[in-house]
Amino acid sequence: MKNFQQSDILQSLPKQFFASLVAKVNKVVAEGHDVINLGQGNPDQPTPPHIVKALQNAAENPNYHKYPPFRGQPFLKKAAAEFYLREYGVEVDSETEVAILFGGKAGLVEIPQCLLNPGDVALVPDPGYPDYWSGVELARAVMEYLPLKAENDFLPDYSEIKQDKLEKAKVMFLNYPNNPTGAIATKEFFEETIAFAKSNDICVVHDFAYGAIGFDGKKPISFLQVEGAKDIGIEIYTLSKTYNMAGWRVGFAVGNPSVIEAINLLQDHLYVSLFSPVQEAAAVALLDSQQCVNELVGLYESRRNNFIRSLQEIGWNVKAPAGSFFAWLPVPDGFTSESFADYLLEKAHVAVAPGIGFGAFGDRYVRVGLLTNEERLIEAAERIKKLNLF
């Protein structure tokens, strides 16, 4: 059978670092060990019943069995606009400032193809979500990394960007609450970002995937809440985390009309929008009671508090994340992130994600997902305690 050669673009895509982690975990599980897997980012709770019911009811509508409008159902775009007005006080034109996405990931990978030409520069956080890299590579553009350091609260320092890269930069990705660090942004940082982007003609793409998940009574702010944000950028929101709808693949981009039009134009050539019942259920999620979201955030905060306390009690000097459902934990001396992750998997049967998978500045950390019950999180801490590392 003939083996057809993959295109140069496919062969140039970044390797999926976490595929090797999955393989390592599966091997240990196959050997009969009970692995506590904290290396994933997949929400562990079910979608709230009222959203599931909305899908079930909508699926019986024969009008929804036809092609939906290419650019999404108007009712979902209006729901997104109402959501932003209610949650953040941001006025959004549902026709020109909202694009429906096949999950937030699709939008993040599409944006470079919408705005960048070969050789253009995208500013990308390090550590950061690896799929930013994929979109930049598909556009044949170049990445310039923005180091996120603990001493700067995991916010980038724009003064560190090299001038020659800055002159070619057209897009910048930001993500707060942050994956993997759990850091949150301040209004002052976003104000600085807007001024920086305006003076350098850069489009800001704020990945707001964990926008609902803030702790200690602090609600994460939307980039679009800050004056001037819509002039120079967009925000990408997904229902995956807020409503435990990861498998549903539904999200939206909000903001600058020219960028929204570019996304819609690209998607005109790729899709015929989402199955309409999914869009109707998504609108229900956005507009109905948000009690399920409040309860979910409370669940994550309780897990965070108990897990971080358990790690601190064994002598591990860790800090609690301010948002997201991840904890970013420093690696003990003598290890890299990958060797430490391998050690925990082999000796304690606890799986964590090595920070190097998120960029070079992640190599002194491992990422833990708060996506299993508190008993298992505390048990993971107990297993690590027995290794006498701290």
User: In the numeric block, which tokens belong to residue 243?
Assistant: 């409503």
**The pLDDT of residue 17:** 76
- What is the average per-residue pLDDT within 17-46? 90
At 176, which amino acid appears?
Y
Q: What gap in Å lies between CA 286 and CA 289, rounded to an integer?
A: 8
What's the pTM?
0.96
**The pLDDT of residue 103:** 95
Checking if the pLDDT of 206 tops 90, the result is yes
Q: What gap in Å lies between CA 382 and CA 95, rounded to an integer?
A: 53
Checking if the pLDDT of 300 tops 90, the result is yes
Environment class of 330 (CB within 10 Å of its CB; exposed 0-12, middle 13-18, buried 19+): middle
Answer yes or no: are the C-beta atoms of 136 and 182 closer than 8 Å: no
Checking if the pLDDT of 171 tops 80, the result is yes
Max distance between CA atoms of the chain, in angstroms, equals: 62
**The pLDDT of residue 156:** 97
Q: What gap in Å lies between CA 167 and CA 145, rounded to an integer?
A: 15
Q: How far is CA 34 from CA 45, 142, 308, 321, 383, in A?
A: 21, 42, 22, 27, 12
User: Which domains, from first to last, does the chain contain?
Assistant: 8-46+292-385 (3.90.1150.10), 50-287 (3.40.640.10)
- Quickly tell me which residue has 């015929």 as its tokens: 272
**Over the stretch 66-84, which tens digit does the pLDDT of each residue have?**
999 999 999 999 999 999 9
